[in-house]
Amino acid sequence: MEESRKTEWIWEVMISGAEEQLALVLGKMKASTIMVPLLDISMAICLIMSVMLFVERVYMAVVITIVKISGRKPDTRYKCEPIEQDLEQGSLAYPMVLVQIPMFNEREVYQLSIGAACRLSWPSDRFIVQVLDDSTDLTIKSMVEAECVRWASEGINIKYEIRDNRNGYKAGALKEGLKRSYVKECDHVAIFDADFQPEPEFLHQTIPFLIHNPQIGLVQARWKFVNANECLMTRMQEMSLNYHFTVEQEVGSSTYAFFGFNGTAGVWRMAAIEEAGGWKDRTTVEDMDLAIRASLKGWKFVYVGALQVKNELPSTFKAYRYQQHRWSCGPANLFRKMLLEIIRNEKVTLWTKVHVIYSFFLGQNSIFVNAC
């Protein structure tokens, strides 16, 4: 009994001491008026961000309404006449195009993506399919290589490229791919992730923008989700991404003629990539990085919403979480690396700098929300 009472007394003393310490700490915090200013600042930031998002939504609604009513489609704003057949030049009338397909252990979709790229209706001697395989699974590697050999036997100019490391991941693979000697003869590069399947007419619907408009550095197509109805998660992703393509990309293309490259289903002018400094692997959003650097060099971008490229949405929570983490953390890291570069740029106007900073890093892409 005495031991039990002693134990209870010790616990009472400890609890009483902890309560006194907590009360003392809270008293000091209240006395020093730390919490109240911090809460006021937090509320002010939240209010400012809410107003920014509201204004952005209203602005986009107004612009997209004007675009729809006025019919300001890409083919009315830019010259994009089909390439004329020339009997004397033959296939030389078509520019040389590189088609890059970065891959990593793509067992399920490698045949679809390679097949879609090889079936592009472009003169066979005027485009090169470059499969950039970073797979670590040797079985999948051999399967991808065998698929490339099969298409090569059918007359397609296809190159199977591997590396002895995965430095830079996708950006590193794309960068290495552009170093090959045969790439020097290419004027443009189309990029498709491994789960993307372009229609045969893709190049015919994008390359004319680049041929007839020397100021355009990128033509971006829309994504079409083939598994949108697979589950609740894919349906929610479809709604979010449909807004991104239908409104955000359309508004960016229609007003300032630049926006974030989506990393796939787009065609770049080689000169734009080179002038922007090429691919860099300093963040997880290498596509945004390149787009910002190219826009600061004065290149314009065109979004063609009517052109859709089939692809698949992440259908597992693990894949979705990885994708969202990359999209969320990347902009915050890139902002820290590029803010001074944007401010010091002398090739674009002050208003353009403000728009670049806002459209890429603030608004709904706010670095305060996405910071890691």
Is 134 a residue of the active site? Answer: yes
- Work out the burial of residue 340: count CB atoms within 10 Å of its CB; fewer than 13 is exposed, 13-18 middle, 19 or more buried: exposed
The residue from 133, 193, 287, 289 that is catalytic is 287
Residue 257's Cβ-side half-sphere holds a number of Cα atoms within 13 Å equal to: 17
Task: For residue 354, give Cα distances in angstroms to 218, 256, 342, 349.
Answer: 21, 12, 9, 9
Instruction: In whole angstroms, give the CA distance from residue 192 to residue 178.
Output: 15
Is 287 a residue of the active site? Answer: yes
The residue from 134, 193, 195, 289 that is catalytic is 134
Phi, psi at 321, each rounded to 5°: -65, -40
| Contacts for 365 with CB less than 8 Å, ≥ 6 apart | 331, 359
Of 118, 49, 8, 109, which Cα lies nearest the Cα of 315? 109
206 neighbors 219 (Cβ within 8 angstroms) = yes
Instruction: In whole angstroms, give the CA distance from residue 77 to residue 371.
Output: 37
For 69, other C-beta atoms within 10 Å of its C-beta total 8
Which residues are designated catalytic?
134, 287
